[in-house]
Structure 1
Amino acid sequence: MTITLLPDTPVLKAEGLGRIFGATPALADLDLSVSAGEVVCLLGGNGAGKTTTLGLFLGFLSPTAGAARVMGRSVHDDIPAARAHLGYVPEIVALYPTLSGIETLQYFNDLAGRPPLSNCAARDLLCTAGLEGDRASKRIATYSKGMRQKVGLAIALAKQAAALLLDEPLSGLDPAAANDLVERIKALARNGTAVLMATHDIFRAHDVADRLCVMRAGRLVETVDARSLSASAAEALYLAHMRAQA
């Protein structure tokens, strides 16, 4: 489905964004934007601030400084309105095991208050997300992790989300499933979706991203154009920052 936004339209924007837990700064002074049709990957180890960033955009957390904006509006001015523009795929996609892929998509569609989704429309969305053939009719209990991730993408497609937030979506996937998911993410971006992805996988991040953002100890320490350097150079850059943290 086409997102009718101009390519340079900022969909996600962090302005001096910060979050403190107790006395610990989980995120500090983050300035970042993601435009329509752009893929931005957040790279960093545990505690770098990647998941905190996603949680602030989704309204799961409240900022202690700055603002997270979706479509120009502060998330915490109206969290439901912000979430209406967002699709979210966590590392572990929690779905009802007794439902089929089609029934799952219809359930989440109904839950969001959208018009009913026919079996044919649901199957088409799942196919676009990469769940093809008769697998859409099988129970979620039989799905691999990669298949569950594709259902998550289909839910975002049904929502016509302007932005897709992905938290370690490649973790635990075999190489074929990971490559396929990357291709699906690229296709969504080509169709106008803004994508913000947190990942440890530097090579696939280099493959899918327009920009790579290295985070360390809650701060954005470097942003680079992924096309301006090779995969090995991206790895060297990332490892240099990780060694500096050690």
Structure 2
Amino acid sequence: MSALRLDGVSKRYGGRIAVDALSLVLAPGEIYALLGPNGAGKTTTVNLILGFAAADAGTIEVGGTRVDRAPLAARAKLAYLPETVMLHPALDAIENLRYFALLGGRRLGTHEARTLLTEAGLQQEAQVRRTEAYSKGMRQKVGLAIALARRAGLLLLDEPTSGLDASAANDLTRCLRTAAARGIAVLMATHDLYRVRELADRLGVLREGRLVLEQSTGSLGPAQIEALYLAELAA
């Protein structure tokens, strides 16, 4: 069974086509990078998968569950990491993780919370500090730990490396690779062409809501990915 399947999905906002007949399949453990300029339809695609918006045509399945027929059941099979992670500023990382996990129906012990935060790349001394002074990279790591705590089969990320320094981006890459090795499929909407080669198994390029290119990254270098991307946007 696929972790994610989109079949002919379209979405309009007024007279503008945001997503146009998009078909996409992710296998368990696969990392897929969805590329495209601002307005190409990346965030709309993520919102459709989450059930935050309803498709005008086509179907979306998460782990075999139709989003339109059972939105809550479909959402329970995925985890979402937004570009900006909002945390309770008065709580430390462990408390935030345990709190958000409880909201999702899971009761985490302190040891398990520490393990998840460490796997996400957050240093142990930072785990017991209030998050009000956290950098964006530190917030991303807590957000990733929160997502992984759901034990979902699909992880959605919207511009996950935006604003991160090289060290934080490397930590994120390592954690996502570990998640994929455990069978979690990852779909990330991104502009970061360098990380695409380093992280993704496949890439797709959206232009005006249409998937104009889909290709394995195994034989491509960063310069080739950039050339392909720019060529498709200029076509």
Which deviates the most, 40-49 or 228-237?
Answer: 228-237
Give structure 2 stretches of 5+ with no counterpart. none
TM-score norm. by structure 2 comes to 0.97
Q: Does 1:233 align with 2:234?
A: no
What is the CA–CA distance in structure 2 between the aligned matches of 1:176 and 1:151, rounded to whole Å? 15
What is the CA–CA distance in structure 2 between the aligned matches of 1:133 and 1:95, rounded to whole Å? 18
Equivalent residue, structure 2, for 1:58: 50
Matches within 5 A, 1:15-26: 15-26=7-18
Equivalent residue, structure 1, for 2:155: 164
| Aligned amino acid, residue 101 of structure 2 | N
Equivalent residue, structure 1, for 2:2: 10
Post-superposition offset of 1:132: 2.2
Equivalent residue, structure 2, for 1:122: 113
TM-score norm. by structure 1 comes to 0.93
What is the CA–CA distance in structure 2 between the aligned matches of 1:229 and 1:126, rounded to whole Å? 32
Percent identity over paired residues:
51
Post-superposition offset of 1:243: 2.5
Aligned residues of 2:32 and 2:188 also touching (Cα < 8 A): yes
> CA deviation digits over 1:201-235, x for unaligned, max 9?
11101110000101101110000110022221111
Cα RMSD over matched residues? 1.0
> CA deviation digits over 1:25-52, x for unaligned, max 9?
1001001011110000000000111111
Q: What count of residue pairs does the alignment treat as equivalent?
A: 235
Query: Out of 13, 24, 28, which is 1:32 matched to?
Result: 24
Equivalent residue, structure 2, for 1:154: 145
Which deviates the most, 175-184 or 19-28?
Answer: 175-184
Equivalent residue, structure 2, for 1:141: 132
Give structure 1 stretches of 5+ with no counterpart. 1-8
Equivalent residue, structure 2, for 1:43: 35
Q: Does 1:88 align with 2:80?
A: yes
Question: Is the partner of 1:165 in helix, strand or coil?
Answer: strand
Aligned residues of 2:120 and 2:171 also touching (Cα < 8 A): no
Equivalent residue, structure 2, for 1:107: 99
Query: Out of 198, 211, 223, which is 1:207 matched to?
Result: 198
Query: Out of 144, 166, 177, which is 1:175 matched to?
Result: 166
Post-superposition offset of 1:125: 1.0
What is the CA–CA distance in structure 1 between the aligned matches of 2:117 and 2:226, rounded to whole Å? 33
Query: Out of 187, 201, 204, which is 1:196 matched to?
Result: 187
Aligned residues of 2:65 and 2:73 also touching (Cα < 8 A): no
> CA deviation digits over 1:92-111, x for unaligned, max 9?
01111111100111111111
Q: Does 1:75 align with 2:52?
A: no
